[in-house]
Amino acid sequence: MNLLHLDSSILGDHSVSRRLSAAAVAKIRQGNPDVRVTYRDLAAEPVPHLSGAYLAAASSPAAQHDPAIQHDLALGGRVLEEFLAADVVVIGVAFYNFTVPSQLKAWIDRITAAGKTFRYTEKGSEGLVGNKRVILAIARGGFYGASSPVQSFEHAETYLRTILAFMGIANPEVVSAEGIAVGPEQREAALRSGLEQAAALPVAA
């Protein structure tokens, strides 16, 4: 089994989403001791955002490009291959200004690739990687659940569910901690709840 582990929080050791994603990976390891884990810290080593130069270069011979574009093309290829090779993907999702960090969005833009993770057909788009198991480990400063008056402000989990479904992954699993910015007691309670959710994950899909 190949597992791809991603973190996106800029808070390092203070990050709740990192704690949750690590717990999810640890749970998968319990039942799969031979799992091969690839880790990518999108905050410490950001994947560059897409550029016009990158898109133009992607359809022409690499030898024609300057070293910076060649490096970007190679990195984009590695990022995509890591995702394609993964049987399980665990994503630590920070929640900034109602949505995902731009670092995570940059990674998503590299894996949403026509002919690789989706394709267009006469009947519309078709996802090509529906056999993957995806676990989202989300930490939010406030409360955005079904009973919240600001539920419609939540554009992280909803966005990720949309883009994953577009690629064929219809049912990602979600581990979450809410209200972590409300106060110390709520932060501890939210973290405890999130870790319990991670501990309850099945070890196999």
Q: Which residues are annotated as a binding site for FMN?
A: 9, 15-17
Q: What CA–CA distance (Å, rounded) separates 100 from 108?
A: 10
| β-bridge pairing 133-139 and 118-121 | unpaired
Q: Mapping DSSP to helix (H, G, I), strand (E, B) and coil, where does residue 91 land?
A: strand
User: Apex CA 38: angle with CA 37 and CA 44, to 5°?
Assistant: 130
37 and 25 Cβ atoms separated by less than 8 Å: yes
Q: What CA–CA distance (Å, rounded) separates 142 from 108?
A: 24
Residue found by looking up tokens 């704690």 in the block: 19
Q: Which residues are annotated as a binding site?
A: 9, 15-17
| β-bridge pairing 124-127 and 118-121 | antiparallel
